[in-house]
Amino acid sequence: MVVKNQEYIKQQNRREVLEMIIRNGPISKSIIAKKMNMSPTSSTRIVNYLLDSKLVVEDISNGPNKGKRNLLLPNKKRIVNICIEIDIDTVTIALINLKGEIISEARVFAATMDASKVVQVISHEVKLMTEKQLDGDEMVTGIGIAMPGIINPSTGTVKVSTQFNWKDVPLADMIREATDYDVKVDNELKLKALAENHYSIRKESSLVMVGFGNGVGSALITNDDIYRGSSNASGEIGHITLDPMGPRCTCGKYGCLQTYIAKDFLLSDARKSHDIESMEELIEKAQLNEQWAISILDKAVSYMILTLNNIVRIYNPSAIYVSGILIENHRYIHEKLENGYHEVDAFRNGDLKIELTQLKDEGALMGASLMIQRHYIEHLA
């Protein structure tokens, strides 16, 4: 047990030193030791390891620093993460370097959501993109995948994804077999939260990402990592029961939180009285001052505010980031939500920051990149 812990600490320290160089480089060994609260011997050992593994390089852009140690930089050309976001009808694939910069990105429409067809699309696109973009000097860490649903992150099995109608799909195994790359899979909101926390300048002590879209979900980041709960189901707030006599939810229960907020429920509410095709159309009607449309959206926003208040009660985070198609794609709803932030006590008292996700569309891909990169670094010999 002691040996295992030491090994774990060693891997954690390596990753943290590397991430510090990525974030703050060019940086010196002594500053790293100070910031990491490490002895100079430990920091030198880790830095030498990272130099040997070619994960970092010495900064000789102004010529080698004679007699003095050179500053350290991430070797951003060396490491490439293949990142994939699976969404309804679309698969987005990107190559992302060690600094989190997108080298190449493509969006493919998949006509079907049949799991084996999706795997075919992915393996074909991965082959195309890596052949075209990489020259062979790079180290590919593997494939990181973000998608909605309850996922076992250690096996990469999709336990349930109601949106795709998938149950117990061994996605990581299937893609590993088709591509020969190492594969990690996780829930897209959890990965978005991970990336938002990692790339934000101001570090939060605890951060919650909440998503309002086809469903309602949340993800908590604490100590720079995802909080999962005992079986990785933490954050599934969309299925908190608000009213046992309420509308039937996709999960089979009644009156779940998401039945008052999620897109399809708002549309079916609208269709009880009007012929409405899309969310865009519903918002258009509200903007034309049609009272029935305004009240459907106002009601949804008041449940969103209630969700934020409940999140504060459960997690007491220092920041909440709001995301999801209802907010990110519809300025009208986002503005209404912003106007209601003052109804959240902690926000009004100045104890909580509430902001729109900064990484927007790219959040899930950036999180997938971070996941596969960390996995690679933590498993280096």
Output the smallest distance, CB 252 to Zn ion, in A: 7
Quick one: 167 or 253, whose CB is closer to Zn ion?
Answer: 253
Quick one: 326 or 352, whose CB is closer to Zn ion?
Answer: 326
**DSSP bridge partners of 212:** 216
Output the smallest distance, CB 171 to Zn ion, in A: 23
| Chain position carrying tokens 């029935």 | 292
Quick one: 102 or 251, whose CB is closer to Zn ion?
Answer: 251
Q: Which stretch binds Zn ion (CB under 5 A): 62-70, 173-181, 252-260, 270-278?
A: 252-260
First-to-last C-alpha distance (Å) of the chain = 19
Output the smallest distance, CB 312 to Zn ion, in A: 22
Options 251, 294, 306, 325; binder of Zn ion; rule CB under 5 A: 251
Output the smallest distance, CB 241 to Zn ion, in A: 8
348 by DSSP, 3-state: which?
helix
Q: Does 249 bind Zn ion (CB under 5 A)?
A: yes
Angle at the Cα of 199 from the Cα atoms of 239 and 69, rounded to 5 degrees: 150
Output the smallest distance, CB 239 to Zn ion, in A: 4
Quick one: 98 or 256, whose CB is closer to Zn ion?
Answer: 256
Q: Which stretch binds Zn ion (CB under 5 A): 63-71, 87-95, 245-253, 371-379?
A: 245-253
Distance CA 108, CA 23 (A): 31
Q: Which stretch binds Zn ion (CB under 5 A): 113-121, 217-225, 249-257, 304-312?
A: 249-257
Output the smallest distance, CB 322 to Zn ion, in A: 21
Output the smallest distance, CB 248 to Zn ion, in A: 9
Quick one: 258 or 369, whose CB is closer to Zn ion?
Answer: 258
Query: Where does residue 264 fall: left (phi above 0), alpha (psi -120 to 50 degrees), or beta otherwise?
Result: alpha
Quick one: 102 or 150, whose CB is closer to Zn ion?
Answer: 150
Token pair recorded at residue 92: 């987005």
Q: Does 261 bind Zn ion (CB under 5 A)?
A: no
Handedness of CA 30, 36, 39, 42 (dihedral sign): negative
Binding-site residue total for Zn ion (CB under 5 A)?
5
57 by DSSP, 3-state: which?
strand
Q: Does 256 bind Zn ion (CB under 5 A)?
A: yes
Per DSSP, helices labelled H in the chain are: 2-24, 29-36, 40-52, 115-133, 171-179, 188-199, 263-271, 279-287, 291-315, 325-328, 331-340, 345-348, 363-378
Q: Which stretch binds Zn ion (CB under 5 A): 49-57, 63-71, 125-133, 250-258?
A: 250-258
Output the smallest distance, CB 261 to Zn ion, in A: 12
Output the smallest distance, CB 258 to Zn ion, in A: 6
Closest listed residue to residue 185, CA positions, set 323, 325, 86: 86
Cα atoms found within 13 Å of the Cα of residue 289, Cβ hemisphere only:
0
Quick one: 140 or 256, whose CB is closer to Zn ion?
Answer: 256
**Sequence-ordered list of residues with C-beta below 8 angstroms from that of 359, at least 6 positions apart, any chain:** 192, 195, 196, 199, 366
Closest listed residue to residue 237, CA positions, set 173, 314, 181, 170: 314
Quick one: 241 or 273, whose CB is closer to Zn ion?
Answer: 241
Subset of 99-158 contacting Zn ion (CB under 5 A): none
Distance CA 374, CA 357 (A): 22
Can you give the binding site for Zn ion, defined by CB under 5 A?
239, 249, 251, 253, 256
